[in-house]
Homo-oligomer: A and B are copies of this chain.
Amino acid sequence: MKPIKVGLLGLGVVGGGVWDVLRRNGEEISRRAGRRIEVAAIAVRDVAKARARVDGDVTVTADPYAVVRDPAIDIVVELIGGSTLTRELVLEAIAQGKHVVTANKALLAVHGNEIFAAASKRGVMVTFEAAVAGGIPIIKAIREGLTANRIGWLAGIINGTTNFILSEMRSKGLPFATVLAEAQRLGYAEADPTFDVEGVDAAHKLTLLASLAFGVPVQFDKAHIEGISKLEQEDIVHAERLGYRIKLLGVTRRRADGIELRVHPALVPAQRLLANVEGAMNAVLVWGDAVGATLYYGQGAGAEPTASAVIADLVDVTRLHTADPHNRVPHLAFQPDALSDLPILPISEVHTAYYLRLKVQDQPGVLADIAGILSRAGISIGSMIQEPAEDGATIIFLTHEAVERNVDEAIASIEQLPFVHSRVTRLRLENLK
């Protein structure tokens, strides 16, 4: 069969990885796909640099529109990043009747509904395995592997930078700022680490996973996002003593009244596999009503792991590009006319367990007053430790599941108590059951 012709937009880390893997494994990939996958054109800013990197019969141009509009190209691979130019390029590729493979979570989390609608209308595929959790085939698992299930929830470590930082904070006992500087030196964190560290990148990915799991439109603007920059070393130590590890989790859960969609640090029981995912690795735990819990683990970033996902999409598109569009896997796992309008719940309506830490004056009645406030707010205490601290005592509560709104109100009341000497540090706790 004729080779399928690919146009690459971008030849940075991931683009270079795609080029290298297709080169190295081209023959083995053809043995699987049944035909060759050939990069026929590349658009880059620096043509001379790209020319030096790639050899062979490839058009290299500075004009991405020339690739997107090239009639010889079957599939456009968008690896530029950002969401302004890429939105235009992807929509133009679709308008030209080309299939699109992208690793761009920011683009799809924000403009996904528009892009998928345009693609469905034009009868082309937009695939994005590489947009979430790098080389782990998590999108395929949810979209195709778990189709029998009513998915109840999923929780993932889907940002390698923050997981690396948290692993280092725990194992070396260092504060956030020190570890971040080290991560930047090692190339695990960007010069401006905001997107990773503040949870935005994880929220982009979680937004996509929630749509695939529950069949709702992409709604990044409704996600609740907290990062790890305010996390204190002290809480990592307390968590460990209590049998937990703190991870930056993306959690999405279907409830009768809506969907929870939230990224934040959370305590996870130390014996769970997810708690043992260390360094820059990623993992996603998915619960379906038939299959129970399944977990998917691997490298969430890097040139070749991400290229692995891009090329898996290329093989899929190669196989399906002649299929009747109605028989292809829908972009968001559910048929476009069968999406659900279940709302995304505000964070105040989330149900989960909590870790609360505060400093109090060590005097009679303290615990009774605090416990009374929690009890009146409908929050039951799973366990508690109190220990001497400078000028008084530190108290830590682990609560059973409660409504976040009630927890916030209880914390506000507790902070009013005259013998409470600190703000209440509140972290969510996920039992993942």
Q: Considering only CB atoms and an 8 Å cut-off, how many residues of chain A contact the other chain?
A: 67
The CA-CA distance from A144 to B305 in the complex, in Å, is: 15
**Nearest residue, chain B, Cβ from A149:** B308
| Residues of chain B contacted by A343 (CB below 8 angstroms) | none
The CA-CA distance from A271 to B327 in the complex, in Å, is: 43
User: Could you say which of B276, B304, B316, B320 contacts A273, with CB atoms under 8 Å apart?
Assistant: B276
The CA-CA distance from A149 to B333 in the complex, in Å, is: 25
Instruction: Verify if A307 is at the interface (C-beta below 8 Å from B).
Output: yes
Instruction: Tell whether, in the assembled complex, residue A137 and residue B148 are in contact, meaning their CB atoms are under 8 Å apart.
Output: no
**Nearest residue, chain B, Cβ from A288:** B308
Q: For residue A310, give the distance in angstroms from its CB to the closest CB of chain B.
A: 8
| Residues of chain B contacted by A299 (CB below 8 angstroms) | 291-294
Instruction: Verify if A412 is at the interface (C-beta below 8 Å from B).
Output: no
Instruction: Verify if A32 is at the interface (C-beta below 8 Å from B).
Output: yes
Which chain A residues (328-379) contact chain B, with CB distance < 8 Å?
328-330, 333-335, 338
Instruction: Tell whether, in the assembled complex, residue B305 and residue A290 are in contact, meaning their CB atoms are under 8 Å apart.
Output: yes
| Residues of chain B contacted by A290 (CB below 8 angstroms) | 17, 21, 25, 135, 304-305, 307-308, 311
Instruction: Tell whether, in the assembled complex, residue B311 and residue A147 are in contact, meaning their CB atoms are under 8 Å apart.
Output: yes
Which chain A residues (25-76) contact chain B, with CB distance < 8 Å?
25, 28-34
Instruction: Tell whether, in the assembled complex, residue A326 and residue B273 are in contact, meaning their CB atoms are under 8 Å apart.
Output: no
Which chain A residues (128-159) contact chain B, with CB distance < 8 Å?
129, 134-137, 140-141, 144-150
The CA-CA distance from A271 to B335 in the complex, in Å, is: 42
A32-B333, A148-B29, A273-B297 known; A304 and B327 CB under 8 Å? no
Instruction: Tell whether, in the assembled complex, residue A316 and residue B144 are in contact, meaning their CB atoms are under 8 Å apart.
Output: yes
Instruction: Tell whether, in the assembled complex, residue B148 and residue A308 are in contact, meaning their CB atoms are under 8 Å apart.
Output: yes
User: Could you say which of B271, B291, B315 contacts A304, with CB atoms under 8 Å apart?
Assistant: B291
The CA-CA distance from A299 to B149 in the complex, in Å, is: 14
Instruction: Tell whether, in the assembled complex, residue B323 and residue A21 are in contact, meaning their CB atoms are under 8 Å apart.
Output: no
Instruction: Tell whether, in the assembled complex, residue A308 and residue B150 are in contact, meaning their CB atoms are under 8 Å apart.
Output: no
| Residues of chain B contacted by A277 (CB below 8 angstroms) | 273
**Nearest residue, chain B, Cβ from A326:** B34
The CA-CA distance from A299 to B144 in the complex, in Å, is: 18
| Residues of chain B contacted by A185 (CB below 8 angstroms) | none
The CA-CA distance from A357 to B250 in the complex, in Å, is: 46
Instruction: Tell whether, in the assembled complex, residue A335 and residue B34 are in contact, meaning their CB atoms are under 8 Å apart.
Output: yes
User: Could you say which of B21, B148, B326 contacts A148, with CB atoms under 8 Å apart?
Assistant: B21
Q: A395-420 interface mask toward B, CB cutoff 8 Å, 1 = contact, 0 = none?
A: 00000000000000000000000000
Instruction: Tell whether, in the assembled complex, residue B327 and residue A25 are in contact, meaning their CB atoms are under 8 Å apart.
Output: no
A32-B330, A294-B136, A326-B34 known; A25 and B144 CB under 8 Å? no
5 closest pairs, A vs B, by CB? Answer: A137-B145, A148-B311, A135-B291, A294-B298, A31-B338
* Contacts A140-B145, A144-B312, A273-B276 known; 6 new A-B pairs at CB < 8 A: A32-B330, A140-B141, A145-B312, A293-B299, A297-B297, A322-B327
Q: List 24 A-B contacts (CB under 8 A).
A: A1-B326, A28-B215, A30-B338, A32-B333, A33-B147, A129-B145, A135-B290, A136-B291, A140-B144, A144-B144, A145-B312, A147-B312, A148-B307, A148-B309, A148-B315, A149-B308, A290-B305, A291-B304, A292-B298, A293-B298, A294-B297, A297-B297, A319-B327, A319-B329
